[in-house]
Structure 1
């Protein structure tokens, strides 16, 4: 989701607490006594602390690393500046564009069931969409090589969203904002990230099955994984407990926008709400190939040069609703996401044995801040891959 700024936001009723005052490192399972944090743990903890607090840092941050059954939770700052409580792995949060991996999981599961094919076109499955888009395939949508114009860049959408971020959009009409626009390029000829792609993916899944996308998400992905704390709401309110999301200008007041954004505005492209625990479980299964057949997994992990938009750690390449991040310490697969109030990274090793979520409760923007965050993300990936 692009960095749209909201105009109507709730005001905080208490002054900002010192964000670094509640930093902590927790090892899990919670009942087990782990060793004292070593120098590497302290360095990671310090790096996370450096990303939070005034004048320009996020109010809070949490990273959850899992290797097999061993879980470490690193956190800094606060989940809620009013209460001062720290972020927790069970806090609900907006996962932003990491939701694209979920719509990818739904579509690829349907491919395995022969209800969809990667070569199915918009013209075949969604013939009411513009004729100029009809040759675009499901594969191209999943890999962002479709050329579809991005509806979140449309001035009419931006105006409506900015005027009332909590308004409920009809997800099935989101592509109407760009229905009068041609493709940006010949399908399959190059990469360009577009929020429209995963809206079309979800519509294809619905057209192929006759079932609502939300139902398909539950039946094919969430229920098999036991992800009871993951949902796709149409409204703006988050389930409790939640990691509060904030917006601010450097040096300016914080604005709590946790419950200001309607999930329907980004739907299958960015509307999912989850927790670090659930997101970790999903990414281990999805990035590790457990949800897919070997043949579909092979197609999913055929890579093209990826995105410069919120690129994540290291160098990225794009698969089907999945990115490959090549860091100085090795390779992980996953997805990034950014939306007003939240910045996300969720990755796992290709075998699905190790996973990590990395969350800041504000939308990080600006080249310098993004570069600093990416460096810390890479440090955490190195910790995840370390034997």
Structure 2
């Protein structure tokens, strides 16, 4: 089974919205759209969805089963693994380090914190946050062995990456290109621990989750147990068991649509980020029907609307959070049905933005 922790390739997120939902092989087209509930039902969607515009809900409900064995339904209170959406929290942790005076600039070099890292003098925090570091993705190096029972700590993975870069060099010169790599955010999470003197989990909790009252957001465990937790499915197969320790900083959190709405509204508002921080994090506008990766967030222009967002995939789960500042709109979909191609998420983004937000 193909693992989806990696999320999207650079080619995918640059071209994601160039493919219209009106293609002949799409079961749902823009012209057929009637309302959000019908749209998700016709997608055979399994998960929880929240769509809001100008403070009013368009849709806030669950679809399908959280647990097929117990027939527990998905609800707005169901907790899902959110995969790479976790990167937005890690990115905020780095912003907080700068607020705390623990880093001087997003343009500080990695060698300032580890002078033994190969080519660390060329790689900046900004490169890590925007996937411009040239570092290889570690997932393919460790995932198979981790699933077979071998233990990998984040520190062990960090050393594996260092050795890989020392032997094989970077994929490209930092800053010269973009390649989505989970390695960037594992390193950022380790940096949060090193500079704060606290665990990554505690730092994110105290600096982000607690202030925003995100009480239903937590680090994921290898096995999913208990009520109000979605099991993850690939077809009808439960694929929930996963070595979550290898997702550190890059895909490690579990959350609900209500908690992630709080995070989106904070990011969209004017009190959480200063204007200067917003300019740095979300960057400049992009051309119509295109997408670029900024600092821990994607920025897209769809139907004339700015969409700031992130998606994520991990075995059995597919997630999406995003907001449209112009209309004070939020779109969150958390699914416990794996989507290898990302087609469902692409349809959700394009269709809901064009018809509802």
Q: For residue 36 of structure 2, what is the aligned residue in structure 1?
A: 44
Instruction: Give distance in 2, aligned partners of 1:100 and 1:213.
Output: 12
Q: For residue 303 of structure 2, what is the aligned residue in structure 1?
A: 328
Q: For residue 3 of structure 1, what is the aligned residue in structure 2?
A: 3
Instruction: Give distance in 2, aligned partners of 1:211 and 1:262.
Output: 23
Q: For residue 364 of structure 1, what is the aligned residue in structure 2?
A: 339
Structure 1 position 239, deviation (Å): 5.7
Q: State the SS of the aligned residue for 1:132.
A: coil
Q: For residue 144 of structure 2, what is the aligned residue in structure 1?
A: 159
Structure 1 position 68, deviation (Å): 5.1
Q: For residue 62 of structure 1, what is the aligned residue in structure 2?
A: 48
Residue from 125, 141, 148 that aligns with 2:113: 125
Structure 1 position 121, deviation (Å): 1.6
Unaligned runs of 5+ in 1: 6-38, 53-57, 249-253, 307-312
Q: Does 1:207 align with 2:194?
A: yes
Q: For residue 86 of structure 2, what is the aligned residue in structure 1?
A: 99
Aligned residues: 325
Deviates more, 1:218-227 or 1:111-120: 111-120
Instruction: Give distance in 2, aligned partners of 1:143 and 1:162.
Output: 29
Instruction: Give distance in 2, aligned partners of 1:231 and 1:40.
Output: 39
Q: Is the Cα contact below 8 Å between 2:321 and 2:331 reproduced in 1?
A: yes
Q: For residue 179 of structure 1, what is the aligned residue in structure 2?
A: 162
Deviates more, 1:225-234 or 1:343-352: 343-352
Deviates more, 1:137-146 or 1:356-365: 356-365
Deviates more, 1:229-238 or 1:354-363: 229-238
Q: Does 1:267 align with 2:248?
A: yes
Q: TM-score, normalised by structure 2?
A: 0.82
Q: Does 1:89 align with 2:104?
A: no
Q: Is the Cα contact below 8 Å between 1:168 and 1:235 reproduced in 2?
A: no
Cα distance change on mapping 1:280 and 1:148 into 2, 3 Å: same
Cα distance change on mapping 1:352 and 1:298 into 2, 3 Å: farther
Structure 1 position 79, deviation (Å): 2.1
Instruction: Give distance in 2, aligned partners of 1:40 and 1:291.
Output: 39
Q: TM-score, normalised by structure 1?
A: 0.76
Q: For residue 21 of structure 2, what is the aligned residue in structure 1?
A: none
Q: State the SS of the aligned residue for 1:358.
A: strand
Q: Is the Cα contact below 8 Å between 1:112 and 1:292 reproduced in 2?
A: no
Q: Is the Cα contact below 8 Å between 1:169 and 1:265 reproduced in 2?
A: yes
Structure 1 position 362, deviation (Å): 2.0
Deviates more, 1:265-274 or 1:238-247: 238-247
Structure scoring higher RCO (CA < 8 A, sep ≥ 6) equals 2
Structure 1 position 351, deviation (Å): 6.3
Q: For residue 351 of structure 2, what is the aligned residue in structure 1?
A: 379
Instruction: Give distance in 2, aligned partners of 1:91 and 1:246.
Output: 15
Structure 1 position 63, deviation (Å): 1.5
> RMSD between aligned alpha carbons?
2.8
Q: State the SS of the aligned residue for 1:79.
A: strand
Instruction: Give distance in 1, aligned partners of 2:177 and 2:245.
Output: 29
Residue from 114, 125, 137 that aligns with 1:150: 137
Deviates more, 1:99-108 or 1:131-140: 131-140
Instruction: Give distance in 2, aligned partners of 1:269 and 1:236.
Output: 18
Q: For residue 77 of structure 1, what is the aligned residue in structure 2?
A: 64
Q: For residue 218 of structure 1, what is the aligned residue in structure 2?
A: 205
Structure 1 position 376, deviation (Å): 2.9
Instruction: Give distance in 1, aligned partners of 2:34 and 2:61.
Output: 10
Q: State the SS of the aligned residue for 1:321.
A: coil
Q: Is the Cα contact below 8 Å between 2:309 and 2:321 reproduced in 1?
A: yes
